């Protein structure tokens, strides 16, 4: 059970020295009890007290780190059941499954899809983060598959899916430098599996036939003093998987039971039974309901566009507006004759508008004022995207020294600001742009052709 602030306070040095950043040891203890601060922030705590408190005050769900270098990912570490309570912490990751019984052409096609689907949306790179390599029965072919995928140039982290201990041992030798996940601990092999992964602290995927069995097995593995785990809630049916996934999170966070305090892996490729539309629908569901790694059959653009979009929405902190930096942006190598556009600092708006300007290939400057991180109409209605705000941003941006053009294009949705801006920016030609970003390329090309 979680400790109360006073329990923690009894173990502090009671110096009230403020070295932890809090005015008193009691204030610090209350923050530790709420999970907002780690006990290690007090440099004067005795080793004995730290040992007593570390486990009891640790987050209810562990954060597991897997992969290496640019392909290192944190999983789990969640603190709430619902996104409206507080932001979710570590976004779910997508994996594509490979197995040694696949034809070479299928393996090659999946590798190519993973390479092809890589793009930036609202400042975040979207790509397949994991490949799951599944062992069926032929060890030599499995080893060949691992070598083939590893040498394919994919930038991913790895999941070895294998319940055969000797085969897993051999597979790990090939890939353990990549800090993979070794998935396949069950009630019969878990001791050998823990022995295999313990020295390198490799994350161990745990599976069982039922929720109760998974709980018992996880307890058994914890008794072996191994807690670098990822739990599989099962993939027999959508109903059971959904119930199990929700129960695991509830038991962990509401029941404050650390036995289920681990990230999860869900084999949606098995649940969807080859139906790619079902796979996308299930991925959407389990992005919201607690899948840490979602394993799919493939990742092409048809799957990626809806899935990465919803993931970005779910894992964005609702308390923080998604903003880009205020200032001046040069697009398509803007020069001293390029027109100037203005839009708001809401990240989604900026990236959509800048994407369309880039698509037009017309060199242009973009001025971004501080509009509160809202969309065009919302910030205008809130009085944060007014003529004086835009004029001020234009003057401070220094764009008047960068271009001789005095054409300022404002969003069509705030055409009403034209008159005010003409008064605020004498000498500028205020032009009302398009109401929808998709029409920007045509608009800009015509503007340049007529100038």
For residue 22, state whether it binds ligand SF4 (rule: CB under 6 A).
yes
For residue 11, state whether it binds ligand SF4 (rule: CB under 6 A).
no
CB of 44 to ligand SF4, least distance (A): 4
Would you call 450 exposed, middle or buried from its count of C-beta atoms within 10 A (0-12, 13-18, 19+)?
exposed
Total of chain residues touching ligand SF4, rule CB under 6 A: 13
Binding region for ligand SF4 (CB under 6 A) out of 15-23, 105-113, 200-208, 255-263: 15-23
Site mask for ligand SF4 (CB under 6 A), range 25-64, x = bound: x--x-------------x-x--------------------
Q: Which of 3, 8, 11, 20 binds ligand SF4 (CB under 6 A)?
A: 20
For residue 15, state whether it binds ligand SF4 (rule: CB under 6 A).
yes
CB of 60 to ligand SF4, least distance (A): 23
Q: Which of 19, 51, 108, 275 binds ligand SF4 (CB under 6 A)?
A: 19
What distance in Å separates the CA atoms of residue 79 and residue 253, rounded to the nearest whole number? 7
Binding region for ligand SF4 (CB under 6 A) out of 14-22, 211-219, 261-269, 344-352: 14-22
What distance in Å separates the CA atoms of residue 9 and residue 402, rounded to the nearest whole number? 59
Q: Which of 4, 10, 18, 404 binds ligand SF4 (CB under 6 A)?
A: 18
What distance in Å separates the CA atoms of residue 273 and residue 279, rounded to the nearest whole number? 8
Question: Of 46 and 104, which CB lies nearer to ligand SF4 in the complex structure?
Answer: 46
Q: Which two tokens stand for residue 376?
A: 């065009």
Question: Of 19 and 275, which CB lies nearer to ligand SF4 in the complex structure?
Answer: 19
Q: Residues near 291 by Cβ (< 8 Å), separated by ≥ 6?
A: 92, 245, 264, 265, 266, 268, 283
What distance in Å separates the CA atoms of residue 303 and residue 181, rounded to the nearest whole number? 24
Of 366, 275, 314, 421, nearest in space to 89 by CA: 314
What distance in Å separates the CA atoms of residue 16 and residue 184, rounded to the nearest whole number? 49
- Give one DSSP letter per residue of 1-46, joined into a string: -PPPHHHHHHHS------TTSSSSHHHHHHHHHHTSS-GGG-TT--
Question: Of 21 and 318, which CB lies nearer to ligand SF4 in the complex structure?
Answer: 21
Q: Specify the pairing of strand 340-342 against strand 124-127.
A: unpaired
CB of 299 to ligand SF4, least distance (A): 48
* Token pair 């079902």: residue: 278
Binding region for ligand SF4 (CB under 6 A) out of 18-26, 160-168, 252-260, 373-381: 18-26
For residue 404, state whether it binds ligand SF4 (rule: CB under 6 A).
no
Question: Of 44 and 236, which CB lies nearer to ligand SF4 in the complex structure?
Answer: 44
186 phi-psi bin (left φ>0, alpha ψ -120 to 50, beta other): beta
CB of 149 to ligand SF4, least distance (A): 49
Binding region for ligand SF4 (CB under 6 A) out of 10-18, 88-96, 168-176, 277-285: 10-18
What distance in Å separates the CA atoms of residue 231 and residue 204, rounded to the nearest whole number? 8
**Which residues of 227-275 form beta strands (DSSP E)?**
229-231, 265-267
For residue 9, state whether it binds ligand SF4 (rule: CB under 6 A).
no
Which chain residues interact with ligand SF4 by CB under 6 A? 12-13, 15-20, 22, 25, 28, 42, 44
């Amino acid at each position: 059970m979680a400790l109360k602030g006073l329990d923690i306070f009894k173990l502090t040095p009671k110096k009230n020295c403020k070295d932890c950043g809090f005015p008193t040891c009691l204030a610090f203890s209350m923050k530790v009890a709420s999970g907002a601060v780690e006990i290690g922030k007090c440099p004067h705590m005795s080793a004995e007290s730290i040992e007593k408190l570390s486990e009891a005050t640790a987050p209810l769900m562990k954060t597991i780190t897997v992969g290496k270098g640019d392909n290192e990912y944190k999983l789990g570490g969640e603190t709430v059941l619902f996104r409206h309570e507080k932001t979710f912490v570590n976004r779910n990751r997508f994996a594509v499954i490979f197995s040694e019984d696949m034809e070479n052409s299928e393996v090659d096609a999946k590798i190519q899809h993973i390479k092809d689907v890589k793009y930036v949306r609202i400042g975040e790179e979207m790509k397949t983060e994991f490949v799951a390599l599944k062992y069926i029965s032929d060890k030599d072919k499995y080893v060949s598959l691992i070598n083939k995928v590893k040498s394919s140039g994919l930038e991913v982290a790895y999941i070895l899916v294998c319940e055969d201990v000797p085969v897993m041992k051999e597979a790990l030798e090939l890939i353990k430098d990549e800090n993979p996940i070794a998935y396949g601990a069950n009630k019969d092999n878990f001791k050998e599996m823990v022995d295999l992964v313990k020295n390198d602290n490799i994350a161990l995927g745990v599976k069982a036939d039922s929720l109760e069995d998974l709980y018992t097995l996880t307890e058994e593995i914890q008794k072996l003093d191994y807690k670098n785990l990822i739990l599989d809630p099962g993939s027999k049916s959508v109903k059971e998987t959904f119930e199990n996934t929700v129960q695991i999170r509830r038991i962990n966070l509401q029941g404050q039971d650390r036995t289920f305090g681990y990230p999860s892996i869900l084999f949606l490729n098995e649940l969807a039974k080859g139906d790619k539309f079902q796979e996308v629908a299930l991925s959407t569901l389990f992005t919201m309901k607690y899948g840490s790694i979602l394993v799919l059959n493939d990742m092409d653009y048809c799957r990626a566009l809806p899935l990465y979009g919803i993931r970005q929405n779910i894992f964005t902190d609702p308390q923080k507006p998604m903003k880009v930096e205020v200032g001046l942006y040069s697009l398509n190598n803007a020069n001293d004759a390029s027109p100037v556009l203005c839009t708001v600092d809401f990240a989604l708006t900026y990236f959509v508008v800048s994407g369309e300007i880039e698509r037009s290939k017309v060199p242009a400057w973009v001025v971004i004022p501080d509009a509160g991180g809202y969309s065009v109409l919302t910030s205008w209605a809130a009085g944060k995207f007014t003529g004086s705000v835009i004029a001020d941003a234009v003057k401070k941006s220094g764009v008047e020294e960068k271009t001789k053009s005095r054409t300022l294009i404002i969003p069509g949705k705030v055409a009403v600001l034209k008159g005010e801006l003409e008064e605020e920016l004498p000498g500028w030609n205020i032009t009302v742009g398009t109401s929808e970003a998709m029409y920007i390329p045509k608009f800009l090309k015509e503007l340049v052709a007529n100038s």
